[in-house]
Amino acid sequence: MSVLGELVRRKLALFGLVVITVVVGAALLSPWITPYPPDQQMFDGLTLEGAPLPPSAQFWLGTDLLGRDLLSRLIEGARTSLVIGVVANGAAVFIGTLVGVTAGFFGGWIGTILMRATDLMMAFPALLLAIVLAALFTPSLWIVALVIAMVNWVQVARVIYTETRSLSERDFIEAEWGIGAGRGRILVRHMIPHLVSIMVVWGTLGIATTVLLEATLSYLGVGVQPPTPSWGNIIFENQTYFTSAPWLVFFPGIAIILLALSFNLVGDALRDILDPTQKGRH
């Protein structure tokens, strides 16, 4: 049975797939499905006292502190969160795989230097390191993606390194060396194909971590900057209204949790499907 078929058979993974599909679809179609322009301050978007409006038939999720439609900003913010999630995590998986494979396959002083550098990066708290890096540059969507990639690649590198070292000691690799196969042939035809499943799993699970980290950075004011909406900076902008207008924090918070949970559910299912040794452990 195909991987997609296996995912559909698992209820939790199917739930995750549905949520991811809805969010991705909304992000791609946002220019056409948002009820109002995300940055438009509505003439009737605030009460007479200047407070945000609660959810209603006109504004389904209410309005924010500037009278902008919250649903429209959440849909537009999904694009930001997904772009950062995919780009940052894709870069992290690429860097981590490159470092891990190089260190594990070549070993020696090259492997020692690369893995000691990886251990040094892992010694720093990820959030603190991301805040420092983000503060050093002018925050923007692509800078935030780069910062998150520079923080998250170390875990991928460690996992890929361990698996590469394990593969290097397998009989079929030893046989390839025995018949005089070159490094390039062994790496491309035998090593990389066995690492693809790990890359796919980390590529999925890592998006959840990336979405949460982006939201945290934006909430702290060092992530994506307004007026570009992201789920994290929507909470940051409206946190002063937490008690009087809780929907301004509740809805983006639920969106962040649901998307992160969905990628985790799909990633866990992919790990079980693609790596038989993991079955029955969860």
In the prediction, which pLDDT does 182 show?
66
Q: Model confidence over 189-241: pLDDT tens digits?
A: 777 888 888 888 888 888 888 888 888 888 887 788 877 888 888 888 888 88
- CATH number of the domain at 248, please: 1.10.3720.10
How many other β-carbons are positioned within 10 Å of the β-carbon of residue 252? 28
Average pLDDT, the chain: 84
Please, which pLDDT band fits residue 98 given cuts at 50, 70 and 90?
very high
- For residue 41, tell me if it sits in a domain: no
Per-residue pLDDT at 114 exceeds 80: yes
Is the CB of residue 235 less than 8 Å from the CB of residue 247?
no
pLDDT recorded at residue 282: 41
Percent of the chain residues past pLDDT 90, beyond the cut: 24
- Quick one: pLDDT at residue 164? 87
Q: Tell me the two tokens of residue 83.
A: 């772009």
Domain count, the chain: 1
Continuous segment of H or E residues that includes residue 173: helix 171-178
Q: Report if residue 44 sits inside a domain.
A: no
Measure the CA–CA gap between 190 and 170, rounded to whole angstroms.
11
Number of C-beta neighbours around residue 137 at 10 A: 13
**Helix ranges restricted to H, 66-140:** 70-106, 108-123, 126-136
Average of per-residue pLDDT across 141-170: 86
Stated pTM of the model: 0.82
How far apart are alpha carbons 215 and 232 in whole angstroms?
Answer: 4
DSSP-based helix, strand, coil % in the chain, nearest 5: 75, 0, 25
Residue 143 lies inside a defined structural domain of this protein: yes
- Residue numbers of the domain that contains 73: 6-30+62-278
**Has residue 47 been placed in a domain?**
no
Least confident segment among 25-29, 107-111, 170-174: 170-174
Look at residue 45 and tell me if it is in a domain: no
> What pLDDT was estimated at residue 280?
43
pLDDT at site 1: 56
Query: Could you give phi then psi for residue 119, rounded to 5 degrees?
Result: -60, -40
Residue 35 lies in a domain: no
Say how many C-beta atoms besides its own lie within 10 A of residue 161's C-beta.
23
Please, how many CA atoms are within 13 Å of residue 211, restricted to the half-sphere of its CB?
30
Is residue 151 assigned to a domain?
yes
Q: Is residue 212 part of a domain?
A: yes
Task: Please give the average per-residue pLDDT across 72-87, as a whole number.
Answer: 90
